[in-house]
Structure 1
């Protein structure tokens, strides 16, 4: 049987290597563009291959040939492979959009020489976070993507972008410090940061200490995922960045935090002691986010608030702690990455055509730019959850999982989800009416939108529609991913194959893990 594990590091290695190459080629922007496009295309192909290959036992690579838990390992299972594939498709489309925008603008407003290595580093950081098999390497992935995002969010150097970038940097540093402190506490309590080994050691420590560790990790990831009340930074930071940067941030970066929550909650803390707290946070995130969206008169800020509110749907699925909840949450993450990114790209086209994103100044675009009208309407209705689109299917899955839980709090979340969906529809219809139907108060610039910019945005809209037509196979895949999360054994056995695990033998498991540590270190010393 062919060992395909050599593919696992490529989504990290390829963009990192290309980042160094494009930095060296800073005087040759055309070559930079070719290298970046080829690299991200290759990452998408590799991710798609892993999506198929990981639909079974997880694929594991021991970096530097150091066996886990001593060495760093990268793990591609169903969940990480799906996240990789969706993120690779999104980053490639956003890149093509950005290149087209740069060419249309004469590349005068963007420092292209630094954009390519930074964007590639961002891609490598996201991939590393998805594939990492230990907490510290997840932290490294976060820091790579955050360092790159600091540069991207301030491209152009305007005062507004610098101010927004400063807020973003401060919040990111706070979350990173919290995460690092949490990692230190985890290591002090268990003697390891390897996720598979933590899965068997954490049950052996004091329940109070375990709860503190869980809270610390949730705080760090909650800031990154923009869960209320840790989300106030997002609507002020994202809308000021260039359209492609805003798109990739809104669509992808918060979902890395959501992924980290899914991974740690299912693998490390399956007892679900904080599930009720997460449910209340999910409800608050939904309602506060969508009420903020309803109050906005700028379409970028409106979408930023809807982004926050729909993080609540994902947290709802996680908080249910059931296979049905995880299945719906994973499906909704994949859907939301695609649709939210597509919407921000289309809004970038609207801003280019009309010269503004203010709903009070836009109008009449359905007549003057019908293609833009269609490109906005389709993902907007998808985000609102209009049947039979993928947003509707994901929300139905979450509602069914909540009803199956049959607790008062779960029913409250179901009601909150319905209210949030209706308010999302109201906010987006309001934006549609003002931007596309009403008569503009003044003549709009009507700057032509290059086809080269419209095609990548249209491609992402098409991907969102494809998720609807492929909802059956995709939902079945996320269901298998949820089964793996619930069982935990396939992940642990793949990373620690010499570790014997048995039901009711948690003490023996911990002792065997220690023995494996000693044997591994002894083997390396020899």
Structure 2
């Protein structure tokens, strides 16, 4: 029964995307199709997580092909947990977008032309719903793929969907950022594709289970080159320093729902690929020291960029980069405790970062800007907005007892157990990063919420904007999904014990590649 469910996180979003495109002219029906699809995928992914945790790996050979000839789908604890978290945040983003009165909005980018206005906001973009579902299907494909080529296909699916979402509204700023994002993504995909070709040339397979046994038989230099190529491609997607410069310019220009799903999911797909390949294909890698340096520099460079920003979205984009360093730290430690804490932190960060970008959208709707120099007094005019920002911001900053604090403590404990001067330097850097994160989010709190409001002179250009704000700011349709994700972030703290139990078992499973190989091939590996 569980095996029948394994392909559905990939197939159902594609079917839903097709149906949503067919009914694109009927807005309510399209929304109903999308909501029903995500509800079903969420239920199925939760069952798969339960099944993977209780019964172990669930493997499906698509079409009945004997591996490695066909496509193999594998659900283990790591993949199942990532799918569940991805569906949860995508659901929240979808409901937020629906609450705006359209599939996506140009309100955040300042596009407010009469050609696009309606009496209740702006004209709907029917392409948003099917594109969001295709993106989720690509993310799920990457998570449950049992071979590198299928993982590459998943990357390309989500990247193609992200190109569409990033340029919704076609403002000049958005298209310019979209072009940069496209070039960086194509470069990353090219590196991944070259690595795929070289892996196949060296080993004769791209099946992950088979690769884990064959890579030991090739020269050490060749194996190291393959690992470097794969890590480089994944590091670009995960925004690991020094390959992270593209992210702060690309994400803030998109509408709030798009930015939120990008910030929550896209970089974590790269992190997931790093975890999967490092543990399954390259255990005991000589590049662990390189990863430790990358983690340290990603933390520090990202957070120093964050504290220098005036715009809230750009600040959050830089904190996104810096906190990728925490996840890379767990991967670099390559210990059960380090991997477990890293997986926990990925789940935490997907939820919290998505929530904060949705809150940034609410701030822009209520205050007319995300520039801290132009905001003030939001706590007085909207106490609810202050709460919606304050809780996930404290979580991101690592205030006890939130999940951000628990994840960081887990990583620090894992590092202290391993020891070494570089690890201790990294732990000091992680503490500094956490303190500077708290400083960065506190600046938003003090300047945007508690400072005396900045009053702009009324002009003919902004009079209509102010009327729009009075009518639509903090409507229940956008507040409720955001509040729900805030509660999900709090729930991660409440269920931290059981969740760490799942991540501990996931880490132990990852560090025993033989179990993965047996689940795919049985006792005989061709």
Q: TM-score, normalised by structure 2?
A: 0.93
Assess, with a 3 A threshold, how the Cα gap between structure 1 residues 290 and 402 changes in structure 2: closer, same or farther: same
Pairs aligned (count): 499
- Whole-Å separation in 2 of the counterparts to 1:177 and 1:399: 35
Q: For 1:193-232, what aligned pairs fall within 5 Å after superposition?
A: 193-232=206-245
**Aligned-residue offset at 1:31:** 1.2
Q: 1:27 aligns with which of 25, 28, 36?
A: 25
Aligned partner of residue 231 in structure 1, secondary structure: coil
Q: 2:480 aligns with which of 441, 451, 455?
A: 455
Q: For 1:120-519, what aligned pairs fall within 5 Å after superposition?
A: 120-442=133-455, 445=466, 447=470, 448-499=473-524, 513=525, 516=526
Q: Which moved more, 1:14-23 or 1:327-336?
A: 14-23
Assess, with a 3 A threshold, how the Cα gap between structure 1 residues 109 and 151 changes in structure 2: closer, same or farther: farther
Which segments of structure 1 move beyond 6 Å, counting only runs of 4 or more? none
**Aligned-residue offset at 1:108:** 6.1
8 A contact 1:272–1:321 mirrored in 2: no
**Aligned-residue offset at 1:109:** 4.1
Aligned partner of residue 184 in structure 1, secondary structure: helix
- Whole-Å separation in 2 of the counterparts to 1:251 and 1:196: 29
Assess, with a 3 A threshold, how the Cα gap between structure 1 residues 215 and 435 changes in structure 2: closer, same or farther: same
Counterpart in the other structure of 2:76: 77
Aligned partner of residue 360 in structure 1, secondary structure: helix
Q: For 1:98-113, what aligned pairs fall within 5 Å after superposition?
A: 98-103=97-102, 106=118, 109=122, 111-113=124-126
Q: For 1:88-103, what aligned pairs fall within 5 Å after superposition?
A: 88-103=87-102
- Whole-Å separation in 2 of the counterparts to 1:236 and 1:451: 30
8 A contact 1:248–1:341 mirrored in 2: yes
Q: Which moved more, 1:114-123 or 1:309-318?
A: 114-123
8 A contact 2:101–2:124 mirrored in 1: no
8 A contact 1:57–1:490 mirrored in 2: no
**Aligned-residue offset at 1:272:** 1.9
**Aligned-residue offset at 1:30:** 1.6
- Whole-Å separation in 2 of the counterparts to 1:309 and 1:194: 33
Deviations 1:134-178 (A, max 9, x none): 000000000000000000000011001000111111100000000
8 A contact 1:26–1:114 mirrored in 2: yes
**Aligned-residue offset at 1:102:** 2.8
Counterpart in the other structure of 1:57: 56
Aligned partner of residue 61 in structure 1, secondary structure: strand
Counterpart in the other structure of 1:503: none
8 A contact 1:227–1:282 mirrored in 2: yes
Deviations 1:354-402 (A, max 9, x none): 1100000001111110000000000000000000100000000000011
Counterpart in the other structure of 2:13: 15
- Whole-Å separation in 1 of the counterparts to 2:476 and 2:26: 25
- Whole-Å separation in 1 of the counterparts to 2:383 and 2:492: 24
Counterpart in the other structure of 1:36: 34
8 A contact 2:16–2:37 mirrored in 1: yes
Counterpart in the other structure of 2:460: none
State the Cα RMSD in Å: 1.3
- Whole-Å separation in 2 of the counterparts to 1:41 and 1:68: 32
- Whole-Å separation in 2 of the counterparts to 1:302 and 1:311: 15
Q: Which moved more, 1:95-104 or 1:335-344?
A: 95-104
- Whole-Å separation in 2 of the counterparts to 1:24 and 1:68: 36
**Aligned-residue offset at 1:494:** 0.9
- Whole-Å separation in 1 of the counterparts to 2:456 and 2:78: 49
**Aligned-residue offset at 1:443:** 5.3
- Whole-Å separation in 1 of the counterparts to 2:144 and 2:123: 31
Deviations 1:319-351 (A, max 9, x none): 011111100000000000000000000110110
Deviations 1:2-55 (A, max 9, x none): x41110100000011111111122222221111001001111111100110001
Aligned partner of residue 75 in structure 1, secondary structure: strand
- Whole-Å separation in 1 of the counterparts to 2:290 and 2:89: 32
Q: Which runs of 5+ in 2 are unaligned?
A: 106-116, 458-465
Q: TM-score, normalised by structure 1?
A: 0.93
Q: Which moved more, 1:386-395 or 1:98-107?
A: 98-107
Counterpart in the other structure of 1:521: none
- Whole-Å separation in 1 of the counterparts to 2:27 and 2:66: 41
**Aligned-residue offset at 1:440:** 2.0
**Aligned-residue offset at 1:113:** 1.8
Aligned partner of residue 74 in structure 2, secondary structure: strand
Aligned partner of residue 205 in structure 2, secondary structure: coil
Aligned partner of residue 372 in structure 2, secondary structure: coil
8 A contact 1:29–1:112 mirrored in 2: no
